[in-house]
Structure 1
Amino acid sequence: MARAFVRSISFPLSPSRSSSSSKPRAPSSSYHARSVSLPCRSHPILAHLHTHIRAVRAWAQQGPAALAASVAVGLAHVDALHSSLGDLLDLPEAQAALSGAGGTVDRLLDSFLRLADAHGCFQETVVALKQDVAEALAAVRRRDGARLASAVRSQCRAGQELARLAATARESAVRPTRLSILGGGQGSAAEVEVTGLLMESAAATASASAALFGAVAAMSVSVEAESCSCKGTAALVCLVKKNKKKSSAPGCGEEGVAVAAVAERLEELEECIEELEAGSEKVFRSLVQTRVALLNIHTLHIF
């Protein structure tokens, strides 16, 4: 089996990554025969996985400003990682390696379920946040203080939910060790390699998810120039009401400029949320597909 696998690669790469692997690759000295069902990291699918894991972790480690400016990029990195995971889980060799990792597979299934649940909640919160931002923007434009106060309170609740999701994801973003992979037992090199990559992928996804949720939460409260406190909300509402009494012209005086600045920030947040909707849907689907593929492998070997 090992010699046949080294001789040819029968599993096609997905179209999004075929261009990067279309050039012939020179044989590597590290590409040696092993007494396991998977070759070492020189296999293209494994190389792609390591590349995507590094990309996801690098994005998650950026500063708050960079994260806020590239949330769509972060989602694309996570989606690409799980697309590559799907390629790995389609390999018969990988499926065979997972057949004896029952306890580890159970933990992986639980990890991917929690991640899928978190991103499902994220989607719901983003939809609610989009409605709150649209409501707040309409209130600012119409100088409706009561309507704005209600919208800002709802927006703050959405921000708090995002912060909670970020904390939950952050708790599970732990790098796996050989001991955690094997659960204290012994396993083949192939089992360690495949389950290790899956656990690395889950940990990287958790880190990126925590960074993503936190970045969107921070953006959702930035329109108030301070945290979502009662004082901040009251000041913003007061500003809108005061500006309405002074003049019906939307851009009159310093206060009019301040209100216009708030409207501009709300518009930017609204545009960002629209980008997030499509990306978050793809990530949620890819997480579900990863878990389904892993569950199918697990179920097949149980029965």
Structure 2
Amino acid sequence: MVGVFRRSFSFPNKAHPKPALSHHVRSISLPSRPHPLIFHLKDEIANLRSWSLSSESRTAAWICDGLNRLKTVHNHLDDILNLPQTQESLRHQPHWMDKLLEHFLRFVDVYGIFQTLILSLKEEHSAAQVAMRRKDEEKIALYVKSRKRLARQMAKLVSTVQKKTKTAEQGNITTDLAAAIGEVIGVTMAVSLALFNGIAESFRTRKPWAWTGFDQVSKKGKKSAEEEKGIREFREIGSENLRELKKKGKEETKRTMKKMRDLEDWIGDIETQSQKVFRSLISARVSLLNALSQQQILQK
């Protein structure tokens, strides 16, 4: 009886199941554990979301800060996309990869168009300053028309980005990596809309306000809300500031000229920051294409 008792409770193999169980748990947990770079990416996304929710006035400095943060987000994403484990994971999701490539191609196209438009604005703005010094109202009128045309072109970019929202929400995002990429697409749209819509609203044609009787106060409030939609430095120089230069006093002309010089600097800064975002978008798309090309090689 003693021998049987010892065989029943001596646990000769007790030490072995524990290592086997521990090894089994590790083999499952490691692949599902997010890479540290994903945590860094999420932190940068959170910073960018806090920027987008900021209640401060929409200024050119605010726009440049958003573009700079967006570039940082895409740089982190590119680092993640170039990890071997990321490339391996993406190769097993070809259909989702195709959607991602479409998203990034559209962003690249939109920012490519914006680069052309902002360069044209910079050149026309510089020429307008020369026209102001010479009080050449004919050329100033052409500049005013070019701003209205730019507003319409920016509105088209806004429409393009907004169409992407429906596409971005499709798909079944289940992994940390996929969720992070989805958030990157979301914040990219937010910054892009702030930039394109800000310029469009600043330069668009506004209907004159007719205040009569009891509705004067409500219309004043409505006008103020409309003015706040644009970027402050852009909307401060309206068409009324540029027309009839010969009738303006010396001090008024000097103030307008200073605003024009300041705006020229901000246009250059926005061009620089948006170009950095443009390059980071291209880099991220190239990384996605590399993963896709490796998948096609393996299939052969």
Which TM-score band (shorter chain)?
0.7 to 0.9
List gaps (5 residues or longer) in structure 2: 1-24, 203-230
The amino acid across from 1:261 in the alignment is R
Q: Which has more radius of gyration?
A: 2
2:226 aligns with none
Query: Match for 1:180 among 160, 171, 174?
Result: 171
Kindly report which structure 2 residues correspond to 1:267-286, keeping only aligned pairs within 5 A, or say none: 267-286=261-280
Does residue 1:78 correspond to 2:70, yes or no?
yes
> Could you tell me how far apart the structure 1 residues matched to 2:45 and 2:273 are?
18
2:155 aligns with 163
Query: Match for 2:195 among 204, 212, 216?
Result: 212
TM-score, normalization: structure 1? 0.72
Contact 2:104 2:285 in 1 (8 A): yes
**What is the number of equivalent residue pairs in this alignment?**
243
List gaps (5 residues or longer) in structure 1: 1-31, 183-188, 226-231, 244-254
Following superposition, the deviation at residue 264 of structure 1 comes to 2.1
Following superposition, the deviation at residue 64 of structure 1 comes to 7.1
Contact 1:173 1:204 in 2 (8 A): no
1:22 aligns with none
Q: Give RMSD over aligned pairs.
A: 2.5
> Could you tell me how far apart the structure 2 residues matched to 1:67 and 1:58 are?
16
2:286 aligns with 292
1:242 aligns with 247
> Could you tell me how far apart the structure 1 residues matched to 2:128 and 2:27 are?
62
Does residue 1:92 correspond to 2:92, yes or no?
no
Query: Match for 1:222 among 235, 239, 249?
Result: 235
> Could you tell me how far apart the structure 1 residues matched to 2:52 and 2:191 are?
5
Larger RCO, structure (CA 8 Å, separation 6 or more)? 2
2:116 aligns with 124
Query: Match for 1:35 among 23, 28, 32?
Result: 28
1:197 aligns with 180
Which deviations, in whole Å up to 9, do the C-alpha atoms of 1:168-225 show, x marking residues without a partner? 2233246966x7235xxxxxx6xx2222221221221111111122234424851444
Which deviations, in whole Å up to 9, do the C-alpha atoms of 1:72-124 show, x marking residues without a partner? 21111111111111111111111121122111111110000000111111111
Q: Which moved more, 1:90-99 or 1:216-225?
A: 216-225
> Could you tell me how far apart the structure 1 residues matched to 2:96 and 2:56 are?
34
Following superposition, the deviation at residue 51 of structure 1 comes to 1.1
> Could you tell me how far apart the structure 1 residues matched to 2:28 and 2:242 are?
67
Cα–Cα, structure 1 residues 237 and 200, in superposed 2: closer, same or farther, change >3 Å? Answer: same
TM-score, normalization: structure 2? 0.72
> Could you tell me how far apart the structure 1 residues matched to 2:123 and 2:54 are?
29
1:262 aligns with 256
> Could you tell me how far apart the structure 1 residues matched to 2:149 and 2:30 are?
50
Describe the SS at the equivalent of 2:258.
helix
